Amino acid sequence: MGDENPNGLAMKIKAMLEKAEPLFTDKCCIYRLYNLAFPSTLNSGNPSHPSLLSLTLLYIVPSDSIISGSDLGLFLSNVGRISHFTDLSRKLLLISSHLFQPSASTRSRGAKLTHIYTATKLNEAGVKFEINKNNTQCLLDLEISGHSFRIPFIRVEDWTEVVLRNLLAFEQSHCIDESYLADYIAVFDFLINTDKDVDLLIKKGIIENWLGDSNAVAEMFNGLAVNILYPDFNEQYFHISEALNTFCNHPWNRKVATLKRDYCNTPWKTVASIAGIFLLILTVIQTVFSILQGVH
């Protein structure tokens, strides 16, 4: 075992997983074990013993999630084969998204995400970071409107990296052509380089840091993006990256943002700046009239 080729071992494990019986079917050993422990659950629908799938969803889906009621019913009727719990988590993530639905989501063939300015650079250029509250709680639903970049809220806890790594590993091995979570991580890898970028997103309410150290959050996102394959990039994120870079590269946007940051960041500074401009205009007018009177 110790001398076995790591790549060969990985292929064997993948083959074993593909042959494994799907969850929540009579052939699944976990399902059969639960059926033996609570036979009334499957036979009579006793509410005191919820089904295995209900318990799983109760654990995976947050209490404040938009995935509930009819959404879960629709999900269960169209989910198809569920290979394992990681597969279930990813499918729940995608069904809660308003962007990445099978009928609407496309990938830009040959599109590569090569650069996005960091969060602090974008902020300095005038990009306004906001929490995406457009009836979504899916991490993947990034949106841009004008100079506003809307990002769903994410709480970074001790187990966040483990969950994201498992989902990434599943995407990379089973659905590389639909690697939406990998695209999301790529965007955050560009946005976050240092603790200052993390602090900015915390200030905007986008990140809630339960790790305590902003550097730890930056290292987590940067580490998740290592050795990830991106054959094509999804169309939505590609357009967002193009719009952000174009906005940031425009010199006028930078000048306006600098003016607002340095001279209009408080009500008193705004009033003082307007008064100064008004006084300057009056001085110029007075000078012009003085010159005209001297000429005549």
Of 43-52, 94-103, 119-128, where does mean pLDDT reach its minimum?
A: 43-52
CB count, 10 Å around CB of 103?
A: 4
Structure confidence at residue 13 (pLDDT): 58
pLDDT of residue 137: 63
Q: Which of 29, 54, 74 is the last residue of a domain?
A: 74
Quick: pLDDT tens for 184-224.
999 999 999 999 999 999 999 999 999 989 999 999 999 99
DSSP H or E segment with residue 107 = strand 107-108
Q: How confident is the model at residue 1 (pLDDT cuts 50, 70, 90)?
A: very low
Check whether residue 57 and residue 118 sit in a common domain. Answer: no
- In total, how many domains does the chain have? 3
Domain that holds residue 216: 107-249
**Do 242 and 267 sit in the same domain of this protein?**
no
Would residue 187 count as lying in a domain?
Answer: yes
Q: What is the pTM for the complete model shown?
A: 0.72
Comparing 150 with 286, the larger pLDDT belongs to 150
User: What pLDDT is recorded for position 39?
Assistant: 66
- Residues 200, 113 share a domain: yes
Both 214 and 125 in one domain: the answer is: yes
DSSP 193-256: SSHHHHHHHHHTTSEEESSS-HHHHHHHHHHHTTT---SSEEHHHHHHHHHHHHHHH-HHHHHH
Please report the pLDDT score of residue 189 as a whole number. Answer: 96
The answer as to whether 259 is a domain residue is yes
CA–CA gap between residue 167 and residue 151 (Å, rounded): 20
Same domain, yes or no, for 259 and 132?
Answer: no
83 lies in a domain?
no
pLDDT, one tens digit per residue, over 54-107 is 677 667 665 544 444 445 555 666 666 777 778 888 887 787 776 666 545 566
Q: How many CA atoms within 13 Å lie on the side-chain side of 244?
A: 30
End-to-end CA distance of the chain: 102
Please indicate, yes or no, whether residues 111 and 245 belong to a single structural domain of this protein: yes
The predicted pLDDT at position 284 comes to 81
| Residue 135, helix vs strand vs coil | coil
* Cβ density class 48-83: b for 16+ within 10 Å, e for less: ebebbbeebbeeebeeeeebeeeebeebeeebeebb
Reported as a single tens digit per residue, the pLDDT across 244-279 is 999 888 875 665 555 555 555 666 566 666 777 777
67 and 167 in one domain?
no
pLDDT at 139: 85
- Residue 6 located in a structural domain: no
State residue 192's pLDDT score.
98
Dump pLDDT digits (tens) for 172-189.
888 888 888 999 999 999
Distance of CA 217 to the CA centre of its chain: 14
User: How far from 146 is each of 78, 87, 126, 152, 278, CA to CA, in Å?
Assistant: 36, 35, 11, 17, 30
- Please state, in angstroms and as integers, the Cα–Cα distance from residue 107 to each residue in 153, 173, 180, 189, following that order: 24, 18, 10, 20
DSSP category for residue 21: P
Same domain, 235 and 202: yes
Closest alpha carbon to 128 in 100, 155, 148: 148
Mean pLDDT in residue range 115-121: 94
Residue 268's pLDDT is 57
